[in-house]
Structure 1
């Protein structure tokens, strides 16, 4: 489990296709404290560490994961949001995030509002019903609050701090982003269907 509070911006150093896709990710994390088999959210996707070096870790990415996320569009040199798995006793600063991406949303508009930037995304229609104003959503591993919803489009604001410590400072219209809907919203919708 994760919180959606990004703790490092990693860089994709190499990508290698040999059976599954393997990515080497450069990081500021102290890798001596990471075990082989540990889970790290990489742009919101829970991936397993399969090898380590002094300032990098490798993850394997299955074809299923590539097909359901934006990881197929990764390239060497790309910056990605990273978060280590939640430990018992850690502060829950964002919301409960599984790292199991539900689909890919598209960034369709950006407007500066003061020092912040309002971003509008278009969610896949089957996921749009789970997104509600003032609810939580995870985009590329970042826990964000939904401002408004109109059909499949929804908006969020990114403050300067978030733009500085995550990849949101480099966002561009047309970007494909990993979308994980709020677990609570998923269960509430399921209960409503059953009643």
Structure 2
């Protein structure tokens, strides 16, 4: 379980393909604090630490993860938003994030608003995921509030701190990102689609 508050940015140091799996080694200033079997969110993707050095760690992505996220687009040198799993009893500064990416989206617009920057994203609506105005959305592991919700688009407003301390400062129109929709909204959407009603 995560909060969507990015701790810092790591760097892809190596990628090894083995069958349908990808073994990805990342450099991170917190690598020495990790342990084998620990969960870390990588641009919102929960992956398990399988190997460690003092300055790097390795995770493995299976075909399911590669098919449903943007991880297959990663290259050596790419910067990645990283967050360790939340500690029980700590403040939940973002929202409940599982690290289970629902689908990808593309950035279709960036607008400077004299103090914040609006980013607009478009996603495939056939997955039946939705956003709501002022609802929560997780973009590449960053917990955000939806400020403009469309049928298969949404906007978020990014403050300067977030621009500087996450990958948002590097996004361009056409950038592919991972999305995790609000878990409560997903349950409600599923119940409605199944015709569930109380009583």
Q: TM-score, normalised by structure 1?
A: 0.96
Whether 1:121 aligns to 2:127 is no
Query: How many angstroms apart in 1 are the aligned matches of 2:109 and 2:130?
Result: 21
Give how far 1:127 is off: 4.6
- How many aligned positions are there? 194
Query: How many angstroms apart in 2 are the aligned matches of 1:189 and 1:148?
Result: 19
- Partner of residue 182, structure 1: 182
* Root-mean-square deviation over aligned CA pairs: 1.2
- Partner of residue 14, structure 2: 14
Give structure 2 stretches of 5+ with no counterpart: none
Query: How many angstroms apart in 2 are the aligned matches of 1:155 and 1:111?
Result: 10
Query: How many angstroms apart in 2 are the aligned matches of 1:15 and 1:47?
Result: 14
The 8 Å contact of residues 43 and 178 in structure 1, kept in 2 or not, is answered as: yes
Query: How many angstroms apart in 1 are the aligned matches of 2:130 and 2:187?
Result: 10
Instruction: Write the mapping of 1:38-49 to structure 2, written as runs, cut at 5 A.
Output: 38-49=38-49
Give structure 1 stretches of 5+ with no counterpart: none
- Partner of residue 89, structure 1: 89
Query: Structure 1 stretch 71-80 or stretch 144-153: which is displaced more?
Result: 144-153
Task: State the Cα deviation string for residues 143-170 of structure 1 (Å, max 9, x = none).
Answer: 0000011221110011100011111111
Q: Would you identify which runs of 4 or more consecutive aligned residues in structure 1 move more than 6 Å?
A: none
Query: How many angstroms apart in 2 are the aligned matches of 1:177 and 1:30?
Result: 24
Instruction: Write the mapping of 1:158-177 to structure 2, written as runs, cut at 5 A.
Output: 158-177=158-177
- Partner of residue 153, structure 1: 153
